[in-house]
Chain A
Amino acid sequence: MRNLTTSTILGLTLTFLIGPFIIIIFAGASAGETLAFPPDGLSLKWYLKVFTIESFRESFLLSLFLAIFGTVTALLLGVPAAYALNRYDLPGAETIRTVVAAPIIVPGIIVGLALLRYLVVPLDFTVTMALFMAHTALVLPYAVRVVSSSLNNLRADMEEAAVLLGCTRMQAFTKVVLPNIRGGVLAAFILGFVTSFNQVPVSLFLSGPGVKTLPIDMLAYMEITYDPSVAALSALLAFMSLSIVFVAERLLGFSRYV
């Protein structure tokens, strides 16, 4: 009886989590002309069509650019910040932590609106520039948090040992600290990449004419054309995210860091 209840709950939960994903895969594989489930016959034509849509190609490249460079920038800022917060008794450390975490606490709509109102409109930032800054800010909290937790596991006396063997503080960081938090940095990169790539609310405000991230572009596309290509693209993106996480998990036990 007990076993039956447990399996039922487990089954429902899995269906709830994985169900939409299955629906999307099949909806995209439809032979019909409109988005529907169950699909109107099976074909791969929508999966192929996705690659021929010019605006998807452009917005994909923009999203890829934002995810890679936004995350790298966030790491360049976040790793030293995490290090300083972790190793030094900084005045106002708690405040800094809160400010750094703000972009994930404040709703994306507000972040987007604020950036639009105070950066793009009055300062005449380009849309791409504003998107880049927004994505960097959104990823920064993850970078700081994930890298902090791997720094926590690294004893400070290791750096002192390196210094006594002749390292400068900087060399101690690059030769001893960095190699030992490599896993955390890579995990932060992947988490940041996925967060940035799937970001909607902030990008919604900042996307301008001709400059759209992929999720926004997909939304816009669906408003006009209700065909299964969006479902096909969604499935492809989900596969991309899955494979990144899968490879990371295989390489370095990604789940330890998140």
Chain B
Amino acid sequence: MSEKFVSLSDLTLSYGSTVAVPNLDLDIVEGELIALLGPSGCGKTTTMRAIAGLLTPASGMIEIDGQDVTRLAANKRGIGLVFQSYALFPHLSAFENVAFGLRLQRMPEAEIRSRTEAGIETVGLMGFEARKPAEMSGGQQQRVALARSLVMDPKVLLLDEPLSNLDARLRLEMRSELQRVQKDTGVTMVFVTHDQSEALAMADRIVLMKDGKIEQLGTPSQLYAEPATAFAAEFMGFENIFCVEGENLVSDTGQLPLGFAAEAPMLAWRPGGVQVGRGPFSGRVLSSSFAGGHREYVLDSLLGQIKADAPIETVEVPLGHNIDFDLPQSTALPLAA
């Protein structure tokens, strides 16, 4: 099992004169499910397109399975890509969509048939072979797209926002489905997403990107528990981030005395880490919304807006009234500058 199955070194990607990704280094382990995570415009899709060969790097090198593919045409790389829009061929049936790549290789008809059928079975679409893409639901279309790439036995399977076009229920189903397919086939999978919960739930490792650079690389639990930067912290749900100056927490709008000694220049709290109902501080309720297991408040305090979750058992505080709260040491995340 290669630690550097896909290796991007000093890779610079640009559109015309605009550099989208500068000097990227990334190694992907054989057989892992890795997520490229970040907001739109962070370079995640650009990076994926470069791996696929749909975008020629301005400089740097891409190696796959020990082979330098930087200048290799996309149709010779042996990489699968499941497009966000699925990009099925509308004039062909599900079966012919899946068989498309195999037919290009001029395989014997019997082999095409058996491999296509196996692919359709892997994604659980038996009985839908004769349907045209327009006659299938979004989830079924995505399965066809997945099977179409899988039957080619790709070295790497890339997925562009694989769950974004599905409704909430299907999204959960497809999450586990993709994980199952990955474990069954052992294919190295790279998926692009802007949704941190998706990345956390599915990936073996997450590459968090910002402005074309890797902000943090780690396992989901590492990223969730110990985001390394303010950006990573905010992306992982630490929505209250403040600077520490001496004994005080400071923001653009004001300051509050910190109840404990802090070494770090910044501290961050998740909404769930803010203690609501009692504490030394007070904030006016700007908004309040029911979120199932808890109630989400936005409070206006001396530090500006604080996002705080209160247990659902507590009495709802009306808009405009004050709530006491605390930013406790136990839930504080120290951040380097």
CB proximity of B62 to chain A, nearest CB, Å: 15
Interchain CB contact under 8 A, B90 and A180: yes
Is residue A162 within 8 Å, beta carbon to beta carbon, of the partner chain? yes
What does DSSP make chain A's interface, helix, strand, loop or mixed?
helix
Task: List the A residue with the shortest CB-CB distance to B84.
Answer: A157
Interchain CB contact under 8 A, B80 and A164: yes
Taking CB atoms and an 8 Å cut-off, the chain B residues in 58-86 that contact chain A are 74-75, 77, 79-81, 83, 85
- Complex Cα distance, B87 from A158, in Å, reads 5
Interchain CB contact under 8 A, A162 and B52: no
Interchain CB contact under 8 A, B74 and A163: yes
- Complex Cα distance, B236 from A230, in Å, reads 82
Interchain CB contact under 8 A, B89 and A162: yes
Is residue A85 within 8 Å, beta carbon to beta carbon, of the partner chain? no
CB proximity of B17 to chain A, nearest CB, Å: 14
Is residue A166 within 8 Å, beta carbon to beta carbon, of the partner chain? yes
- Complex Cα distance, B97 from A162, in Å, reads 10
Interchain CB contact under 8 A, B81 and A162: no
CB proximity of A182 to chain B, nearest CB, Å: 8
By CB atoms of chain A within 10 A, which of B54, B75, B88 has the most? B75
Choose one: B74, B89, B90, B91; the contact of A164 (CB below 8 Å).
B74
Known: A157-B87, A176-B89. A165 touches B152 (CB 8 A): yes
Cβ proximity bits B125-147 to A, threshold 8 Å, 1 near / 0 not: 00000000000000000000100
Residues of chain A within 8 A of B77, CB atoms compared = 164
- Complex Cα distance, B53 from A62, in Å, reads 51
- Complex Cα distance, B100 from A149, in Å, reads 26
Known: A157-B83, A161-B83. A168 touches B89 (CB 8 A): no
Interchain CB contact under 8 A, A167 and B104: yes
Interchain CB contact under 8 A, B75 and A166: yes
Known: A155-B87, A157-B83. A164 touches B104 (CB 8 A): no
Residues of chain A within 8 A of B52, CB atoms compared = 164
Known: A165-B148, A166-B75, A176-B89. A160 touches B104 (CB 8 A): no
Taking CB atoms and an 8 Å cut-off, the chain A residues in 162-197 that contact chain B are 162-168, 171, 175-176, 179-180
Residues of chain B within 8 A of A179, CB atoms compared = 89, 91
Interchain CB contact under 8 A, B100 and A162: yes
Task: List the B residue with the shortest CB-CB distance to A169.
Answer: B75
By CB atoms of chain B within 10 A, which of A158, A161, A167 has the most? A161
CB proximity of B79 to chain A, nearest CB, Å: 6
Interchain CB contact under 8 A, B85 and A166: no
Residues of chain B within 8 A of A180, CB atoms compared = 89-91
Task: List the A residue with the shortest CB-CB distance to B79.
Answer: A164
Interchain CB contact under 8 A, B100 and A164: no
Known: A171-B104, A179-B91, A180-B91. A164 touches B85 (CB 8 A): no
- Complex Cα distance, B67 from A228, in Å, reads 80
Task: List the A residue with the shortest CB-CB distance to B90.
Answer: A180
Residues of chain B within 8 A of A167, CB atoms compared = 75, 104
Residues of chain A within 8 A of B277, CB atoms compared = none
CB proximity of A169 to chain B, nearest CB, Å: 9
- Complex Cα distance, B88 from A119, in Å, reads 48
Residues of chain A within 8 A of B54, CB atoms compared = 160, 163-164
CB proximity of A175 to chain B, nearest CB, Å: 8
Taking CB atoms and an 8 Å cut-off, the chain B residues in 102-158 that contact chain A are 104-105, 145, 148-149, 152
Is residue B39 within 8 Å, beta carbon to beta carbon, of the partner chain? no
Task: List the B residue with the shortest CB-CB distance to A156.
Answer: B87
- Complex Cα distance, B100 from A243, in Å, reads 38
Is residue B304 within 8 Å, beta carbon to beta carbon, of the partner chain? no
Interchain CB contact under 8 A, A166 and B87: no
18 contacts between A and B (CB under 8 A): A155-B85, A155-B87, A158-B87, A158-B89, A160-B81, A160-B87, A161-B81, A161-B88, A161-B148, A162-B100, A163-B75, A164-B75, A164-B77, A164-B79, A165-B148, A165-B149, A166-B101, A171-B104
**11 extra interchain contacts, Cβ-Cβ under 8 A, other than A161-B83, A165-B100, A167-B104?**
A155-B85, A157-B85, A157-B87, A158-B88, A163-B54, A164-B54, A164-B77, A164-B79, A164-B80, A165-B148, A166-B152
